[in-house]
Structures are given as C-alpha cells and as structure tokens.
C-alpha cells in the first residue's frame, strides 16, 4: 500500500501521526488548502511551500468540466499540470453535483446533471468518478457519495444506502494495481444510527482511510461536535480520518480533540477575497477605517510574507483600491494562520500531559471572545 497512516502519539481521542504517500509525508493533524480548479486561488505553489502546506485538494467535478480529465492526463497528471510536487487529494465531485449543477437527476446508478458552466448534459457514476480521479493522478482519491441535508432523517437514510452501494462500486472500479489510495466517505447527517449504518458498510471494504462527510452543510456547531463525538470512534483507529469541508479555526480545534486527522476548506481564501483575516483574537475586517493609519502588521507573531513585510494601513489601501495583491497577501496569511494552528495542535499532542486541552481552551477563549 503506497499510502498508509502511522500514529506517533495520542492524547485522549486526538492523534499526532504521519500519512505516507508517493509524493511525501503529511504530518497530522493537517489542514489542506483547496485548489478547486488545480490552483489555490491567488496563491502560487511557491508560496504554498513557504507557508508549510503539505497537502492540496482539487476537485473532480470542476476538472471534469474544465479542462477535462483527458487533457490533465495528457499533460502528465495533476501534479505536473499544476506544478505541485507534494501530495494531492481529489474530492469525488459528489457534493458539487448536488450543490452547483443547475439541474440534476439522481438514480441508483449515478447522477445526470447540467453543467453550471454551459448547461451541457453530463453524467457521473461511481465508476466514472473513480476513472476521472485515476486520470488526475492524485495520491488520495474519494468515493463518489451523496451528500444530503444533515437534519432530514429520511433523505439522510436514503443517502447512506446509496453512498454505501456506490462505495462498493468505487472500490471495485479502483482495483488494487495502483499507488492511489481510495478513501470511503461516512454519511448519515446528524443521526448516530445512520452514521453507524454507514460505517458498518464501509468497514467491510477495508479502505486505507475514511472521511466524515455531510457536516458543516447546515447543521449548528453543537450538532456538528456532538455528531463527531459519536461517529469518529466508529472509524478505525489505524486509518486516517478526514473531516471534509471544515476550516474555521474553532472547528479545527474541536475536530482534533475528537480524533480527526485531516481537514480542508475554501474558507481561508474565500474570506480573504472579501478583506477578512483570521487572528487569535477573532476575524478582522481589514477594510475598516480603524486600520487606515496602522503601521503594525496584521499579527506581529505571524511569520507569513504578509505580516513580515506589510502594514495594516497598506493592506487596507489595497482592499479599497481593489488591487489583486490584497487577495494574495490575505490568502497567504489566512492559510499560514491555519497551518500554524495545526502545528500548535500537533505539538500539544506530542507534548502530552494535558497540553492539548490546555492549548484548545486557551485558543478558544481568546478566539471566540474576539
């Protein structure tokens, strides 16, 4: 198996580990910047390396529609195409099919939908989604799944059964003669019984890793945390656990406490494009007048390119002038903030003696108060 997980140390439910992949090791817990269309918006691969990113996520749905997985394969695969020589994970596109497609029709075989780009009719099945990801060549690929509203029991139950059947088909289509690792995705909304049903079906297929899907899509934070409390222990302790689409700093801390190893989210680059930044004292709007003559950096303790070189006053000027450099600098800062946060969580786990809970309590007290 070319992708495998090694636990280095645990502290209660949290783990510090290493995911070994063909393109390098990933120290966990880890946050992955999202490069949906084979690029992390406004950020160069060089800058991703500088801020310590070790894993980038791209998306099957978007690359299937444009430029097409055939073209990416012709160009040597996703690593060569986007000039990123470290690990890549591709989402199967299931979430986007249900959330972005103008019209979709789901059946037990797959999903027929119209492209949000040009309205053309397209089809994704477990076999097609797996084949596309084979062409893209990511180190970690995901099963095609159905992501339902998290609090609707009937819809969530139907999605669990369909996702389980699709996982078996993805597993068969994936085969064994590949260095790529196919992860299963647990569904079930906020319902413990459905999460257990989903886990039972996935564990029979013995995937090298498992994701918790269908959260942060409409439920409250207390509901998400309670669901993680119950559903994460259902997944194997010797395999990586991936919470899909979650990237708020407080949610990362809560997820790590509950045994999650991997996270991804568009949030840090999305809020950057709106002039907002993460700080230990909460999220700041850098377009506010209060920063107009402030010579200090966003965060004097931060080692990112933005904080080491530019003042709050300059950042505000870029935002007000609608200069694209603002997107780049704020995205770099937000991603580095989350990566530093993950590094601190990992260090606290390795330190032992209750250091993780102490760090989380201290972080949340300051961040949420801000």
SS3 content of the chain, % helix, strand, coil (to 5): 45, 20, 35
Lookup: tokens for 86:
């470290």
304: nearest Cα among 277, 323, 267, 274? 277
Q: Is residue 54 exposed (0-12), middle (13-18) or buried (19+ Cβ within 10 Å)?
A: buried
Residues 264-274 as b/e (b if ≥16 CB within 10 A, e otherwise) read bbbbbbebbee
Catalytic choice (47, 91, 251, 299): 91
Lookup: tokens for 35:
């490069």
Catalytic choice (47, 251, 264, 299): 264
8: nearest Cα among 357, 347, 236? 347
For residue 106, report the phi and psi dihedrals to the nearest 5 degrees.
-100, 140
Active site residue 264: yes
C-beta neighbour count of 369 within 10 angstroms? 8
Active site residue 91: yes
Dihedral angle sign, alpha carbons of residues 246, 248, 251, 253: positive
C-beta neighbour count of 296 within 10 angstroms? 11
Q: Are strands 241-243 and 210-212 parallel, antiparallel or unpaired?
A: parallel
Q: Are the C-beta atoms of 348 and 358 separated by less than 8 Å?
A: yes
**Host H or E run for residue 212:** strand 210-212
Give the active site residues. 91, 264
């Amino acid at each position: 198996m070319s992708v495998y997980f090694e636990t280095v140390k645990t502290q209660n439910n949290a783990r510090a580990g290493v995911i070994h992949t063909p393109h390098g090791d990933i120290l966990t817990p880890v946050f992955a910047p999202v490069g949906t269309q084979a690029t992390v918006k406004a950020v160069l691969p060089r800058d991703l390396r500088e801020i310590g990113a070790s894993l980038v996520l791209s998306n099957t749905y978007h690359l299937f529609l444009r430029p097409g997985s055939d073209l990416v394969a012709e160009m040597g695969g996703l690593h060569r195409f986007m000039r990123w020589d470290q690990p890549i994970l591709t989402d199967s596109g299931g979430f986007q099919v249900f959330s972005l497609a103008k019209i979709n029709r789901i059946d037990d075989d797959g999903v027929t939908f119209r492209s949000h780009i040009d309205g053309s009719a397209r089809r994704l099945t477990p076999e097609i989604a797996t084949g596309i990801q084979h062409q893209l060549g990511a180190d970690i690929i995901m099963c095609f799944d159905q992501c339902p509203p998290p609090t609707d029991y009937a819809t969530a139950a139907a999605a669990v059964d369909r996702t389980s059947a699709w996982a078996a088909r993805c597993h068969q289509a994936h085969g064994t003669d590949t260095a790529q690792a196919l992860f299963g995705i647990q569904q079930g909304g906020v319902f413990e019984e459905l999460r257990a049903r989903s886990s039972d079906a996935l564990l029979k297929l013995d995937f090298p890793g498992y994701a918790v899907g269908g959260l942060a899509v409409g439920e409250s934070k207390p509901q998400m945390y309670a669901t993680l409390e119950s559903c994460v222990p259902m997944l194997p302790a010797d395999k990586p656990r991936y919470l899909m689409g979650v990237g708020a700093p407080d949610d990362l801390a809560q997820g790590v406490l509950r045994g999650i190893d991997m996270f991804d989210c568009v949030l840090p680059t999305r809020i950057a494009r709106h002039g907002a930044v993460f700080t230990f004292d909460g999220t700041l709007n850098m377009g506010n007048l209060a920063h107009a003559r402030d010579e200090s950096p966003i965060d004097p303790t931060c080692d990112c390119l933005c904080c080491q070189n530019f003042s709050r006053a300059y950042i505000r000027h870029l935002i007000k002038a609608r200069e694209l450099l603002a997107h780049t600098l704020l995205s770099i800062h937000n991603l580095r903030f989350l990566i530093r946060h993950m590094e601190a969580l990992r260090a606290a786990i390795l330190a032992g003696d209750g250091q993780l809970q102490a760090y989380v309590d201290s972080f949340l007290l300051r961040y949420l108060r801000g």
